């Protein structure tokens, strides 16, 4: 069987080809799956998609009409796929239920430390041979409070690093993680976590219940000098409300690896175009905000695990097996 993989990055392509070698043929495209590109999949029984591919009603109908029966998503998140429509069309949908949590946790810390110690500003200055220290003062993480919103595998990995810094740990989740409790984490209400934390990091999935979990009210609960990090899903934060708070001079720093309207922007070169998203354009102008393009997962270790799991999902499909990665089973 030949698989059509959408949204493949150049660094990712050799890993995908190696994972499928000797199993199935795979054709890699750098374009993302959308209403305009879906017809390319005509004749392919299986397609592989990335998190910024849009699989709504129209796209899924086009895929099904062209003979596609399997969607193998190369990510843990699947909020970009209309699972109800896929089920009605008799399609199988699988994802990667887990991969290296350290990739995202370490990058979340990279963002937090970078905004705390003004690394981007310092780097830009020294490129111009400006070696002044004014405006670069940060603060120790040791002895301060890290609030971890979502304490699954990634949240736990983040908490272990925070513990290594000697930080107090607060957690919020629907269930306590015994490993986090063993680190000394205290589980509290979301309101208390936001009010008491010096650093807030988000590690929960995006679903209707968590859409704009960090809204205007939640942002007002936080300390004026808090560091806010989001390396999970952009829709967790109300971006316009965040801009409003930043305009008031609040927050030591904000590190965002995701953005709620990133589809059609992230993973693409828009440097020669006019970006019409006023909220994103405003966010990147704040000197205490660092925006990266959804790269937290992007390590050789994590991507290798993702593509290996994707290849295994395709093999399970062809051999009639069902694993924990299946979101919509074969009808």
pLDDT band at 293 (very low <50, low <70, confident <90, very high): very high
This model's pTM is above 0.85: yes
Name the pairing type of β-strands 289-291 and 253-256.
parallel
Please confirm, yes or no, whether 203 is among the known catalytic residues.
no
Specify burial of residue 121 (Cβ count, 10 A radius: 0-12, 13-18, 19+). Answer: middle
The predicted-structure confidence for 70-115, as pLDDT tens digits, reads as follows 999 999 989 899 999 999 999 999 999 999 999 999 999 999 999 9
Residue of 203, 233, 250, 260 marked active site? 233
Q: What is the pLDDT of the chain when averaged over all its residues?
A: 96
| pLDDT for residue 249 is more than 90 | yes
pLDDT band at 52 (very low <50, low <70, confident <90, very high): confident
Residue of 294, 319, 321, 322 marked active site? 294
| pLDDT for residue 162 is more than 90 | yes
pLDDT at 264: 85
Residue of 45, 196, 260, 262 marked active site? 262
pLDDT at 77: 86
The predicted-structure confidence for 119-160, as pLDDT tens digits, reads as follows 999 999 999 999 999 999 999 999 999 999 999 999 999 999
Helix (H, G, I), strand (E, B) or coil at 13: helix
Please confirm, yes or no, whether 233 is among the known catalytic residues.
yes
Angle at the Cα of 328 from the Cα atoms of 322 and 329, rounded to 5 degrees: 35
Q: What is the CA radius of gyration of the chain?
A: 21
pLDDT at 263: 86
Q: What are phi and psi of 169, to 5 degrees?
A: -115, 125
Handedness of CA 121, 165, 306, 300 (dihedral sign): positive
| pLDDT for residue 32 is more than 90 | yes
The predicted-structure confidence for 164-215, as pLDDT tens digits, reads as follows 999 999 999 999 999 999 999 999 999 999 999 999 999 999 999 999 999 9
């Amino acid at each position: 069987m030949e698989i059509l993989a959408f949204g493949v990055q150049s660094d990712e392509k050799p890993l995908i080809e190696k994972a499928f070698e000797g199993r199935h043929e795979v054709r890699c495209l750098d374009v993302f799956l959308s209403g305009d590109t879906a017809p390319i999949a005509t004749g392919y029984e299986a397609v592989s998609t990335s998190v910024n591919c849009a699989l709504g009603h129209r796209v899924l109908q086009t895929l099904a009409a062209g003979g596609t029966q399997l969607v193998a998503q190369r990510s843990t998140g699947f909020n970009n796929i209309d699972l109800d429509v896929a089920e009605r069309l008799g399609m199988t949908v699988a994802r990667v239920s887990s991969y290296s949590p350290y990739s995202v946790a370490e990058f979340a810390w990279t963002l937090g430390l970078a905004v705390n110690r003004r690394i981007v500003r310092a780097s830009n200055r020294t490129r111009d041979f400006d070696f002044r220290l004014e405006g670069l003062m940060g603060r120790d993480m040791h002895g301060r409070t890290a609030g971890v919103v979502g304490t699954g595998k990634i949240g736990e990995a983040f908490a272990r690093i925070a513990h290594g810094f000697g930080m107090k740990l607060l957690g919020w989740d629907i269930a306590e993680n015994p490993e986090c409790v063993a680190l000394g984490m205290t589980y509290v209400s979301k309101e208390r976590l936001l009010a008491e934390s010096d650093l807030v990091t988000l590690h929960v999935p995006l679903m209707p219940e968590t859409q704009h979990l960090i809204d205007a009210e939640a942002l007002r609960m936080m300390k004026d000098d808090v560091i806010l990090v989001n390396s999970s899903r952009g829709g967790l934060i109300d971006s316009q409300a965040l801009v409003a708070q930043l305009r008031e001079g609040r927050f030591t720093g904000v590190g965002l690896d995701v953005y709620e309207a990133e589809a059609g922007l992230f993973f693409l070169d828009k440097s020669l175009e006019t970006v019409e998203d006023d909220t994103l354009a405003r966010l990147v102008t704040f000197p205490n905000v660092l925006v990266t393009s959804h790269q937290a997962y992007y390590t050789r270790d994590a991507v290798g695990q993702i593509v290996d799991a994707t290849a295994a999902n395709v093999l399970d499909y062809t051999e009639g097996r069902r694993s924990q990665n299946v979101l919509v089973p074969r009808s």
